[in-house]
Structure 1
Amino acid sequence: MTQTNIKGNVLIKIEKASPDDIQTITALVKRVAAHDVLPHFSAEGKAFFLDIVLRDVKTTFENASYHTFKLVDNDKLVGFSALREGNYLTHLFVDKCVQGKGWGAALLTRTFSFATSDEVTMRASVNAVPFYEKFGCEAIREEEEVNGIRFVNMRYTLKS
């Protein structure tokens, strides 16, 4: 199922991602991570993050408990999200070229529409916390660091 949004005069599509998209999604994740996420990590965290996240992207297509979506602008994949078990956001990556345009919020809204619980939790990269807060998420703990990776546990309470 494809959801089409018009942001300004630009047509964007949010559609279910498929295993055929893995290569393009991997390139997007590497690009976004290099620019936005990895600068906040130690050397250990950088290596660990890429290894874990890239393996996990593949897992989202091998396990039926995930809903995966891609954000497409003029046939170019510019965003990716994954929701596990209807209550945990495992991935949200939006290309720098479209950040700040409301497209990430549109992708997140679409992803959360598949939630099966009243609350969705996530481990937000420290650079993404302001985005999530603006969306309506709240921190549920102070910033943590595990294996050199810094994150904030957050939750979004779905409105009835």
Structure 2
Amino acid sequence: MASITIRQAAIADSEIISDLIARNAKKLLRDEFEEGGLDFFLTTVEKRAIRDYMEQGFSYLVAEENGDIVGVIAMKDYSHMFHLFVDQCHQNKGIAKQLWQAIYQHSMEHGNRGKFTLNSTAYALPVYERWGFATTDDEQCRHGIKYTPMEFVVED
């Protein structure tokens, strides 16, 4: 088993990140969208959009295996998880958890006081629940994208 390296993403990674997210969303999240939702989502993860998020200060970390990006996580304002995708052929190896732990630490070092939020697809809900996230509302739908709001609060 090859080792995974987590590093901060660079603007130059935006096309690879975009491709990874789009490819896996199309394969794994088909049931997470209502009419037009997948197309809307795909526009939000185009290369230009990823680059714009990075330039706006979103924190992006990537997981690499043998120099190839196999996973990505993004955090807005060091408190709202924005993207978490691991390439389908690399899932169930603990990569998503390594990405979460790395962005958690990064966010805490940048002033997060112990509260994180995210909007989960039904597909990812069990993973986030295992990590200690709790649902804060019923499933929502915006722009044809179905999601459940969740939060994680660090206990003192």
Identity across aligned pairs (percent)? 26
Letter in 2 for 1:62: E
Q: Is the 8 A contact 1:60 1:82 kept in 2?
A: no
SS in structure 2 at match of 1:83: strand
In structure 2, what is the equivalent of residue 107 of structure 1? 99
In structure 2, what is the equivalent of residue 119 of structure 1? 115
Pick the aligned partner of 2:88 from 90, 93, 96.
96
Q: Is the 8 A contact 1:86 1:117 kept in 2?
A: no
In structure 1, what is the equivalent of residue 27 of structure 2? 35
Alignment length (residue pairs): 151
> Where does the alignment leave 5 or more consecutive residues of structure 2 unmatched?
none
Give the Cα separation in 1 of the matches to 2:54 and 2:146.
26
Q: Does 1:61 align with 2:40?
A: no
> Where does the alignment leave 5 or more consecutive residues of structure 1 unmatched?
1-8
SS in structure 1 at match of 2:3: strand
Q: Does 1:151 align with 2:150?
A: no
CA deviations 1:121-152 (Å, max 9, x no partner) are: 01112211111111111111111111211001
- Write 1 or 2 for the structure with the bigger share of strand: 1
SS in structure 2 at match of 1:61: helix
Provide the TM-score with structure 2 as the length reference: 0.89
Q: Is the deviation greater in 51-60 or in 135-144? A: 51-60
In angstroms, what is the RMSD of aligned CA positions?
A: 1.5
Provide the TM-score with structure 1 as the length reference: 0.87
